[in-house]
Structure 1
Amino acid sequence: MLIETLSVFPEMFEPAMSTSILGRARRSGLFDFAAYDLRDWTHDRHRTVDDEPYGGGQGMLMKVEPLAEAIDDIASVGPRPHVVFFTPCGDVFDQTVAERLSHEERLLFVCGRYEGMDERAYAYADDRLSIGDYVLTGGELAAMVVTDAVVRLLPGALGDEMSNVDESFSTAPSGGLLEYAQYTRPAEFRGARVPDILLSGDHAKVDAWRRENAIERTCRWRPDLIGRADLSAPERARAEELIERFHGAASANDGEEEETVS
């Protein structure tokens, strides 16, 4: 896989791409990375990438010309990249999107700045993504978040191929639940003991406890996920009981309505 970024601050990426799992995966050849400076596609001595918006308003907008020229030039060499723009108008990034992107041969992340982009630039996007309902200074951090989530899914990136499927939000076998609680030595710390069943050596009972614990944790902390989770009929009935206990009847009913709509 080739991952590329187009940004006015390309120097932000190298530390992240050379560290931890991303660094190891890159050194192992699981993906290659290139960061492009948008200013290289400007034609004035000030290397201008932004301008005032038509109609007035606060802030500056990224100009369409350098963005279009850069994407055209980058895409002209090798297989055409799957072009991703980051915008509040985009689909919310989640594990399902990460899994889809992990199958692309080449990804180009276009990172916005200032008050946004000239609307005409979005014609070059294959995907518009948002990583959440909050304001960032630029799209570089969003590109790093998505890159990290995607690279983790590449075969060999984590070493233990089951590491991905057991994690929160994985589509299988966790079924879209939060991950179960985990413990390590010591068995007791300041009066808090590790659940006895995890010390029993009975793997079947441990697996059953972990499944129940994942459902309970999801109901307590992220009840919004239950409507989409892969649960058996008894598990769903149990989840409804837990949501009502933790959040009241209104939340349980909301979860049912959300499931029906979806």
Structure 2
Amino acid sequence: MDTEAKPQERDRSSAPATGSEEGSRFSRIPSRWATSMSWRRTLALGAVCSVGVLLFSNFVVQPFLIPSGSMESTLQVGDRVLVNKLAYRFGSVPQRGDVVVFDGTGSFVRETSPENPVTGLLRGAAASLGFAEPAETDFVKRVVGVGGDRVVCCDKRGRVEVNGRAVDEDYLFAGDVPSRVPFDIVVPDGTLWMMGDHRSNSRDSRDHLGEPGGGMVPVDKVIGRADWFGWPLGRLGSVPDTTAFDAVPAPGSAHG
């Protein structure tokens, strides 16, 4: 009886060991599967968030990296302003004094040949998030004249006049004069006359007077209004408003 029991005891003792090895092997499969699923969920969530941010940037608010000093001291090189793309989408139109971002194709720059689609997509995505400089066709300037306005430079005190009223431009870069280039233009309906705040360091509507379009920017080329600072942290807040144009009369009612 004892000799028959020993093999049975060995069989019983060996069975759990085999089962344990198989169990541990199978227990590793769900763990790997769970890790894979966790990565997939993370990637999917990241993709959804990225698409959401890009959609928000394309249609609501877009960060815009300031690449030059043409708008100093209002905007500094390296600032990231938040461009309100809804500002002019519900019947509102750009007003004198607004700081706007616009596509200068056809007004400030000539039509350019299309770039590589993949490169364009990557650059556009980075620019729309404020991580890269904007396209060479995108500009940020201040609206000085709207459709119907007569804009003249300069009066006896060196100030720009709009519809016969001199404008005290308190936002100009310290030491700058309103313009060293004389001009006398009437802004066609549906277009805007744009100027930088750092007049001696700004290529704006004045530089395109003799070109097709005369430096006028079509209203439908405006991307949005620069309403807020997003970076650096020390400049968080609203882009300063101006009251410089409050006393300017409507087009056609100029005096003098």
Place the TM-score, normalised by the shorter chain, in its bin.
under 0.3
Q: TM-score, normalised by structure 1?
A: 0.19
Name whichever structure is richer in strand by fraction: 2
User: Larger Rg: 1 or 2?
Assistant: 2
Name whichever structure is richer in helix by fraction: 1
Which structure has more RCO (C-alpha within 8 Å, separation ≥ 6)? 2
